[in-house]
Amino acid sequence: MKSLPPALRLSLVPLVVVLAILPGEITASAMEHDADALEERGSHRWAPVYLTANDLSIATGKPSLVLMSSGSTHIPVWSLSGGTEGQSVAGIVNGLPGECVAVKVEIVVTSTDAGTNPDLEDVYRVHLSQMVEDAPFTSRYALGKPVRTPLPAGPLHSRTIVLESYYEVVPNAPLTVRIQREPGLPGDTFTRPTGLAVVKVTPLNALAEAHFVQDVSGYNSWPMTQAIGDKLVCTYSRGSAHSIGEDARAVYARTSTDGGKTWTAETVVANTPGFGEVTVGKGLDSTGAMLLWVRRVGKERHHDLYRTTDGVTFTLVATPELATQPMQITDVFAVPEVGLMALWFAGNYSDKAVHSWGLMTSSDDGATWKQTPVESGLLKADWPTEPSAVYLGDGRILAVARTESGPAQFQMVSTDNGATWTRQQTNISDIYASTPSLILDAKTGWLSNYYYERGRGILRRRVVDPEVVFDHPLLWPASEAVATGSPLAWDSGNANATVIGDTHHVSFYSGKAPDTAVMVSELPAPTVGDVRSSPGGAE
């Protein structure tokens, strides 16, 4: 190793260390070199299991097991083509700890090609399944979402990429891990082979349980959560099914002063005869009072704005007459030179170019509102829905929005207090009809993006320095799982977050129709170890 240039020596060290470890084993030397060798979840610390290239075999296609060499250093890797689709390799992990409930899956990849540079990207995904007694091995199959990351600045540098941050497992049952490169997807722009050297599987402990806000019989859903000082206010809607227009649906509120562990009795916010009412956005006015947008659907559609200072008594402030009636008006935030701002979106979820989005602004604390369209005539694939936004200062606004048919969340940014906007797709793909909710921490300046992956039942968080992603929406770091709920496509989801001191509170709903519950997770604000500067899980 001493004969190699310093940069090359550093890039090869993680691979050499990892390849010296047999699956299921770890040495003190490896722990010293690999800072991520031990993962802590609660009171448990477990060593990761490493599968080297020699522990993997062909699953599909015709990838090649080759030696990647530089001088006297030779590393076995699986060569995955940048032009041939359907290539994958697989291995089996045995002996997971009896108390673990999930695993995180990462890969280490590299390339010898001289054309390697950060302007190019590649895409990988993981297939996971377990062989459990008295059940078909297909019953525990999970297809990971594509993960796209930029290549390093030059050849022979290794990257660690998180492909799955939380896959629930049955302890002591064999786990099959299959890694596939996806050159057929638009994000894979590197047409040369890459080398898969290592698969790292880390056992995880159970996540902290969320607090129940309301779990009485009925479809309790679509919560909006806001802090008023040290008081937590959770508003939500209850009906009989996943339906917004039923007359039985009304809006309710409860408050908590202990972080969501206990709640006051339920109070009624809105229950208009002939209408179904749903919470769609929240925020604070200039006095610190809570504002709440309620969508009222009957023969007509309206958006009502309510105000409260205690989370118990709500007063109707405004029902603006709008040229374009939105599907939703979302969270309210302050923009110094404008006043209050909220984003809206309108459309009918069809495949026709009839969708739009824009701004709502108020200079009188919500008494009156001005509606401004930003984009109109959009196809559903280009339509940002249920957006969340934060003001970063100096006229800059960053918003993230759900996608109804695309592969990843949208990001919209403005540098002139919302007068003009740029919209691009992000690399946030572990989603399914996932509503984002952003928290910008005042102390650290770090941005947390919370969203609930429907169909998997996982509440996820991505933490980033907003300066990293403002002009580069493909550089969002990997997600972490922070809570779990029901893995149903529509009977759970809709994250909405607020902050009290150093604690984030994130509401969502979970269950199975016709009965669902409103939940709130209590999470520490991110610390240094939670902030990753590398994109898409690459480190």
429-466: pLDDT as tens digits: 999 999 999 999 999 999 999 999 999 999 999 999 99
Average model confidence (pLDDT) across the chain? 90
What size, in residues, is the chain?
A: 539
Candidates 191, 52, 182, 54; CA nearest to 127 is 182
Helix residue ranges, H only, 63-107: none
**Does 19 or 289 have the greater pLDDT score?**
289
Q: What is the pLDDT of residue 29?
A: 35
39-60: pLDDT as tens digits: 433 435 799 999 999 999 999 9
Phi, psi (degrees; rounded to nearest 5) at 227:
-90, 130
Candidates 403, 373, 374, 398; CA nearest to 386 is 403
Prediction pTM value? 0.90
Show the tokens assigned to 448.
């947390």
295-321: pLDDT as tens digits: 999 999 999 999 999 999 999 999 999
Angle at 103 between CA 98 and CA 109, to 5 degrees: 135
Q: What is the pLDDT of residue 24?
A: 35
DSSP one-letter code for 421: -
DSSP assignment of 155-216: TT--EEEEEEEEEE--TTS-EEEEEEE-TTSTT----S-EEEEEEEEEEEPPPPPPEEEE-S
Q: Containing H/E element for 70?
A: strand 64-70
